[in-house]
């Protein structure tokens, strides 16, 4: 650990240093269990160094801390070690960098692990889950838990790798320049999948050109035995293929991977024939189907049998906030884990093909920077052009967009309700409005960025009786 991080061991008991080990890595003192390495990360509002005592009380065997913090208050830190003599401190120049370097050193201990890295503007988690389900038919696999795909989340995730794992499937997210490169230097993926290049986080990265350059860093450590999977119909497909070491597979055409007879089944997903196997892919929408095509392309490249691929596809279940379908007297589509212009348009397109009445509850799309106003105006206009009976807009940006369009775009006199706030009282009010206008057999779409927590609306709607 010290070799990988450049850290210095601090211990009051030489025996503790000799007995040193850790069995888990955590950054939240509340999650510490006996034998954990607690990494004290500084944050915008909280500093992990303020919770070192809590971590020690919960059983931490080691603490990764900032050497400047230690030097500024040696007496207090040494007092903690006196109180907990079995623990050791490791002082480093920057705890986040040390966490990442330690994670890279840990991953390097598993040279036989088939490592898959996934990035893109949207669809990363869904693609990861589909790949995992397929690969799990023949491999012992591991993947990020939930959405732990950031500069902190990915290194924490890889520490869950164990000797029995044969394949590791890890998504990588970014909201700043060079973050994907840093994550790639931790994992060193052999297989890299890009889902798409959109405008998610454009407010932080500046432009789509900057976004594609950032995503392409997924391949920055590729060698000749690596393979890059790139969506064939993406605007930046040609750019993504240039200068890559290893094989390049352009995916996205069903026939190229043995898929034909594709039929959209609405909320039930998509059916098709795959190399003689009748398959129902249960996640709805073309956007999810495209994610599946990436997973199948990778599985075929690695020689997984068609029947195992088909079994994996059919075993897929929606994860929280991503194309979740609640069926009852009404249908609720909960797709509010995140939102960007591409995923919002994809869901509106999908819902436009559904039968029956429809109500859209749409929230702000965050981190769009200078594109914010134009993107929200486009979404509101698109929603007002669709065959909905009611539109509920929640959040500052989407409310502003509606008011900008209010004069001329609502020609069908759709019932529109706008809320800038998204507190619990507002959520309850929204639910009441929807319940007053919805009818049995109707569909409610709930879509917005994670910060708004729009899933709070769902419990008000499901399980109730409707006219």
Work out whether the CA dihedral 449, 453, 459, 465 comes out positive or negative.
negative
Whole-Å CA distances, 84 to 19, 57, 80: 14, 8, 6
Residue with tokens 């990265």: 205
What pLDDT is attached to residue 406? Answer: 66
Phi and psi (nearest 5°) for 401?
Answer: -65, -40
- Cα dihedral: 350, 351, 354, 355 (round 10): -160
Residue pLDDT, tens place only, 343-396: 999 999 999 999 899 999 999 999 898 899 999 999 999 999 889 999 999 999
Residues near 268 by beta carbon (within 8 Å), at least 6 away in sequence: 280, 282, 284
Measure the CA–CA gap between 205 and 175, rounded to whole angstroms. Answer: 7
What pLDDT is attached to residue 47? Answer: 95
Query: Vertex 440, ends 439 and 445: CA angle to 5°?
Result: 70
CB distance 107 to 183 below 8 Å: no
Indicate the pLDDT class of residue 15, thresholds 50, 70 and 90.
Answer: confident
Average pLDDT of 231-242?
95
What pLDDT is attached to residue 409? Answer: 66
Residue 47 DSSP class:
B
CA 400 to chain centre: 28
| Burial label, 224 (beta-carbon count in 10 A; 0-12, 13-18, 19+) | exposed
Model confidence at 204: pLDDT above 80:
no
Average pLDDT of 178-189?
96
Indicate the pLDDT class of residue 414, thresholds 50, 70 and 90.
Answer: confident
Average pLDDT of 99-107?
97
Closest C-alpha to 134, from 377, 357, 305:
305
Residue with tokens 């098709």: 272
Residue pLDDT, tens place only, 442-457: 999 999 999 999 999 9
CB distance 179 to 100 below 8 Å: no
Delineate the domains of the chain, giving CATH numbers in brackets. Answer: 2-95 (3.40.1390.10), 110-314 (3.40.1190.10), 324-461 (3.90.190.20)
Using DSSP, state whether 70 is helix, strand or coil: helix
Residue with tokens 């029995």: 164
CB atoms within 10 A of CB 452: 21
């Amino acid at each position: 650990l010290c070799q990988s991080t450049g850290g210095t061991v601090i211990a009051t008991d030489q025996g503790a240093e000799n007995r040193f080990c850790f069995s888990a890595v955590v950054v939240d003192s509340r999650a510490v269990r006996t034998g954990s390495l607690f990494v004290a990360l500084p944050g915008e509002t909280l500093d992990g160094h303020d919770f070192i005592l809590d971590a020690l009380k919960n059983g931490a065997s080691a603490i990764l801390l900032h050497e400047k913090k230690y030097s500024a208050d040696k007496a207090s830190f040494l007092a903690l070690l006196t109180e907990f003599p079995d623990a050791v401190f490791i002082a480093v120049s920057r705890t986040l960098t040390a966490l990442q370097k330690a994670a890279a050193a840990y991953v390097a201990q598993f040279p036989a692990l088939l490592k898959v890295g996934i990035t893109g503007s949207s669809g990363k988690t869904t693609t990861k889950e589909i790949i995992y389900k397929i690969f799990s038919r023949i491999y012992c696999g591991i993947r990020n838990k939930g959405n732990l795909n950031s500069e902190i989340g990915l290194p924490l995730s890889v520490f869950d790798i164990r000797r029995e794992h044969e394949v590791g499937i890890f998504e990588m997210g970014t909201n700043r320049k060079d973050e994907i490169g840093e994550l790639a230097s931790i994992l060193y993926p052999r297989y890299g999948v890009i889902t798409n290049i959109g405008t998610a986080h454009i407010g932080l990265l500046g432009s789509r050109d900057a976004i594609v350059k950032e995503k392409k860093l997924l391949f920055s450590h590729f060698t000749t035995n690596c393979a890059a999977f790139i969506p064939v119909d993406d605007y930046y497909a040609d750019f993504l293929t240039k200068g890559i070491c290893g094989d390049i597979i352009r995916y996205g055409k069903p026939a190229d991977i043995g898929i034909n007879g594709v039929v959209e089944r609405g909320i039930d997903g998509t059916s098709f024939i795959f190399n003689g196997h009748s398959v129902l892919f249960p996640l709805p929408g073309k956007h999810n189907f495209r994610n599946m095509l990436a997973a199948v392309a990778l599985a075929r490249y690695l020689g997984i049998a068609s029947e195992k691929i088909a079994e994996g596809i059919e075993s897929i279940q929606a994860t929280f906030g991503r194309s979740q379908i609640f069926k009852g007297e009404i249908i609720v589509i909960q797709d509010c884990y995140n939102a960007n212009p591409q995923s919002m348009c994809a869901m509106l397109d999908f819902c436009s093909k559904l039968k029956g009445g429809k109500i859209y509850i749409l929230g702000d799309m965050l981190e769009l920077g200078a594109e914010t106003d134009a993107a929200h105006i486009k979404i509101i206009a698109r929603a007002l052009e669709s065959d909905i009976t009611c539109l509920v807009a929640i959040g500052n940006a989407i409310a502003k967009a509606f008011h900008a369009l209010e004069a001329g775009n609502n020609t069908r006199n759709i019932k529109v309700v706008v809320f800038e706030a998204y507190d619990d009282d507002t959520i309850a009010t929204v639910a009441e409005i929807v319940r007053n206008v919805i009818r049995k057999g109707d569909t409610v779409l709930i879509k917005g960025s994670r910060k708004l927590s729009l899933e709070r609306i769902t419990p008000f709607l499901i399980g109730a009786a409707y006219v």
